[in-house]
Chains A and B, each alone.
Chain A
């Protein structure tokens, strides 16, 4: 069993839909990273959080440390949100990340 599990693996949505991507982990962590990878490979950091909730534009990330679970929400989805979304956890005290396999999101117009 992977230490970081994401669901779903693939997600197709219509423009405007509310989207949720889930991440569960089985190890102790100091923080969790949500990353976005567009076709072509470049990875961009969306959020890093260790408790509660963060919001940036249409993106919201939440984490429940007790339940070892995090969610990434996208409101009013748009075709430009189509990308792979990757959850990764920091295993304290090192800076090493353990990654989930990613969720491929496709938003159709």
Chain B
């Protein structure tokens, strides 16, 4: 079974702090994703990565950065946390696009980190 873990389930930070959210997957997946989930808005893609040291902006990258130094780990960084970044953050991973099996695209999600910025 694919396992995607996130460093914290709940996190409380103060405005202006630098925040690191860590995600680790154990199935050698090439693709990794960071989403945030807010009531009424659903899940929105912040950043994604198709390979080590590679990153692409998603739909809402402002105020965030990411790091992928190792294949299994994808970090989301809030350089200076703000109250509007209070949200549920979800990480996911999947095999690289392509191949015969469409199962290659299935995304596996971590348990989420509920971040509160005061």
Contacts and interface: CB of A to CB of B under 8 A. Distances in A.
A95 B42 contact: no
B90 interface: yes
B35 to A, nearest CB: 8
A35 B90 CA distance: 13
Given A93-B97, A95-B31, A43 B106 contact: no
Interface stretch (A17-25, A59-67, A73-81, A99-107): A99-107
Interface residues of A, number: 24
B105 A48 contact: yes
A99 B112 CA distance: 16
Nearest to B2: A45
A45 B42 contact: no
Nearest to B96: A95
A30 interface: yes
Contacts of B106: 33, 45, 48
Interface size classification for chain B:
20 to 34
Contacts of B11: none
Given A95-B94, A101-B41, A102-B42, A41 B107 contact: no
Contact of A96 (B37, B45, B108): B45
A86 B103 CA distance: 18
Interface string A27-48: 0001101010000111111001
A41 B65 CA distance: 23
A102 B94 CA distance: 21
Contacts of B54: none
Given A93-B97, A94-B97, A100 B109 contact: no
15 contacts: A33-B106, A33-B107, A35-B109, A41-B9, A42-B110, A43-B90, A43-B92, A43-B109, A45-B106, A45-B109, A48-B105, A93-B97, A95-B31, A96-B48, A99-B42
